[in-house]
Chains A and B, each alone.
Chain A
Amino acid sequence: MSDTILFLLVDGLTNGLVYALLALSLVLVFTVTRVVNIAQGEYVMLGALTLADLLQGRMPGTLYLLIGGLALCAILDVGRWRRDWRQASLYTGGLIVAGIVALALTRGALALHLPVIGMMVVALILVAPLGALIYRFTVHPIPNATTIVFVIISVGVSMSVQGLGLLIWGANPYPVDPIAAGGLMMGPVFIPYQSFAILVTALLAMGGLYVFSEFTLVGKALQASAMNRLGAQFCGIPVNATGALAFLLAAAFSAVSGMLLAPLITANYEMGFMVGLKGFVGGAMGGLIDYPLSLVGVMIVGGLESTSAYVASAYRDVLVFSLLIPILLWRNTRSRVEAR
């Protein structure tokens, strides 16, 4: 009996971690741009599938998405040519160069048959900019819209990106090789090495974000744009650039999450939604503003999930989400007390 409890505990915690990077991404996006990004899970999918393609020696469809996005960016900025053709040509030139670099990098990586870590880096370079592009297309034009409008817009983005995923990769699952195959038995539980990789990455990411926002100028600028957009602009902070940067970093974290997750459950076009949802629940436990609490939040979600799946698997969603409500009520009173 106690064996089972221990099992479920360890199992729950390690599986909760799967959502950790996603929770961090959501918190990052929210704290800098005040956008609740429902589409964040899709970068998980893109990261995983891009890696799957690269490891199988195929040109990943993500490259075409990236190039398409860069092209759209250039087209949208057509108005700038009239105002300041020098800057416009620099900008468009930059976009073209970025596209070429991405293409060359991918070709090179495939030709060189890089190992898993190398391919992960390439996949990251292909997916992360998509975040910045999405920011450019959806948040940049209407920075002062209400939260709910951004939520709906991100739902639209999620629909399109998931649809594109289905179009490019089909409905089939793609197996992905882990960084290190196998695992070890911690008591009664089998923990794959991949799970350790996820834990380490999550902790590093969190630590990195903390150092970045507290100790670097760019990080502080990101925080400033979140707290007071107008004020930050008056201080000379390019709030659009900070927003795009936040989206890019968040996409990067989510993509890494997908790449680490795929060896455990395979990559497929619909993996983003559920991971996104669970990550959101975890992050929201910390009010979407607190990194360490998000980590705790996802572990709670993982723990609840494992326990419910064991106790009554048909009703596990009912149990997990019902139990969430008292936790939210508790968090709500805590944050009210803190606010005062």
Chain B
Amino acid sequence: MKILSVAAAVAALTISVSAHAADKPELRIGSVVAMTGPASALGLPEKNALELLQEQLAKDTSLPFTVKFITYDDGSDPTKAVNNVRKLITEDRAHVVICCTTTPTSMAILETVTQAKVPNISLALGQSVIEPAKERHWIFKTPSTDQLQVTGLVDDMVKRGIKKVAFLGLEDSFGEGGWIAMQSVAKAKGVEIVASERFSRTDTNFTPQALKVRQSNPAAVYIHAIPPSSALVHQALKRVGYSGPIYHSGGSANNAFISIGKQDVEGALLGTTPVLVYKDLPDSNPLKPVITKFAALYEKRFNVPKVDIFPGQSWDAGNITLKAAEEVVKAGVKLDDLDASRAALRDKIEGVKNFVGVGGIFNYSPTDHLGLDHRSTFISVVKNGEFRLYESK
């Protein structure tokens, strides 16, 4: 008799617990980032931001669904990226896939997410990830493109009357993206590229390339890399006697650049997302409060002096997904119906307008899966060992 009552109690409890859990549907956000391998400097901060988002959501019960994050490592390798994305889609049944850190890995998975009809938000910088738009129905991205960033910088060069620029970039896909962008932007704006040199993240000596660049007599130099190499190349340029303006990509937009480059990088000009210079933005700028909040959270949680551009990309991707999911659930689509909810999520993501993220203000449309424009691109200058907003004259 006693056993029966205990069993009944347990059964009742189980039913009530599962019923309670069944109250809220589950949104599954799958991500694949480069936690190891050559792109880990970009991928680890992205993973951190996703972790942070997960922790913030655990405290927040206002959403009409629970959120499960599943994150894998692709080791900066396209094969692994494809396999992991497949796993997310078929085994883990993710609603949205956030992937991947680099351009080649993001390109490799295009086929997979398109065929499986799963919305994908990429964290890569390359323009080819989202263009041509009609072939990228399911793919969006949150980082700014190299094109946008470089355009802002070249505009400044033109304003200064610079006609000849030299390019120094990493030989990996990050640097290559910058080169492709620089080539097309320079041509469009009538600036001549007089030298183009490459180096690698792990190089120990950058002087030969710096010398070649200096000997080509450019009026400006553009370096597309991440620290330490971006700072070291900058120093090498100075040492071989180059004294003109030096521009950098958003890859240098972090504290390591200054702590490595020290005095030598004074005056460096960086094309960047608002994350670097939000403190100098007017309070009326809608980006400021959003970034301030994010920066405070991230810097405290991960004990870094200053957040760089990469975590914001995945933070925005996650938040855009959440916003879209809210609208999807409100429209009555069941998250349990994977096909329908995935399609609905895609539509809602595409419909995102004026979303204030950390990387900029997003406005997606059927022909624009980048969502950002020049309002989200800034130039920063290193002044007195700090990044300040730069006003182009």
Which residues of A line the B interface, CB within 8 A?
Answer: 4, 7-8, 11, 15, 18, 163, 166, 170-173, 175, 189-190, 261, 264-266, 268, 270-271, 273-275, 302, 305-307, 309-310, 313-314, 316
Chain A, Cβ-Cβ closest to B38? A270
- Using Cβ atoms and an 8 Å threshold, which residues of chain A touch B38? 270
A163 lies within 8 A of B204 (CB): no
- Using Cβ atoms and an 8 Å threshold, which residues of chain B touch A189? 207
Q: B209 within 8 Å of A by Cβ? A: yes
Taken together as a complex, chains A and B put the C-alpha atoms of A170 and B42 apart, in Å, by 11
CB < 8 Å neighbour of B40 from A7, A166, A173, A175? A166
A166 lies within 8 A of B228 (CB): no
B197 lies within 8 A of A313 (CB): yes
A309 lies within 8 A of B260 (CB): no
Q: 12 interchain pairs (CB within 8 A)?
A: A8-B208, A163-B36, A166-B36, A265-B204, A266-B260, A270-B202, A274-B202, A302-B205, A306-B208, A309-B197, A313-B208, A316-B198
- Using Cβ atoms and an 8 Å threshold, which residues of chain A touch B41? 171-172
Q: B354 within 8 Å of A by Cβ? A: no
Given A173-B227, A175-B260, residue A313 in contact with residue B209 (CB < 8 A): yes
- Using Cβ atoms and an 8 Å threshold, which residues of chain B touch A314? 171, 196-198
Distance (whole angstroms) from the CB of B294 to the closest CB of chain A: 19
Taken together as a complex, chains A and B put the C-alpha atoms of A15 and B208 apart, in Å, by 11
- Using Cβ atoms and an 8 Å threshold, which residues of chain B touch A275? 204
Given contacts A15-B205, A306-B207, A314-B196, 15 further A-B contacts (CB under 8 A): A11-B207, A166-B36, A171-B40, A173-B256, A261-B204, A265-B228, A268-B228, A270-B201, A306-B205, A309-B208, A310-B209, A310-B211, A313-B198, A313-B199, A316-B198
- Using Cβ atoms and an 8 Å threshold, which residues of chain B touch A274? 200, 202-204
Taken together as a complex, chains A and B put the C-alpha atoms of A171 and B73 apart, in Å, by 15
Taken together as a complex, chains A and B put the C-alpha atoms of A273 and B259 apart, in Å, by 24
Chain B, Cβ-Cβ closest to A190? B239
B228 lies within 8 A of A4 (CB): no
Distance (whole angstroms) from the CB of A267 to the closest CB of chain B: 9
B212 lies within 8 A of A310 (CB): yes
Taken together as a complex, chains A and B put the C-alpha atoms of A229 and B44 apart, in Å, by 46
Chain B, Cβ-Cβ closest to A183? B239
- Using Cβ atoms and an 8 Å threshold, which residues of chain B touch A172? 41, 256
B259 lies within 8 A of A175 (CB): yes
CB < 8 Å neighbour of A271 from B202, B208, B260? B202
Taken together as a complex, chains A and B put the C-alpha atoms of A163 and B239 apart, in Å, by 35
- Using Cβ atoms and an 8 Å threshold, which residues of chain A touch B239? 190
Chain A, Cβ-Cβ closest to B260? A175
Q: B53 within 8 Å of A by Cβ? A: no
Counting from the closest, the 5 A-B pairs by CB-CB distance are: A310-B208, A309-B208, A173-B228, A266-B228, A274-B202
A171 lies within 8 A of B227 (CB): no
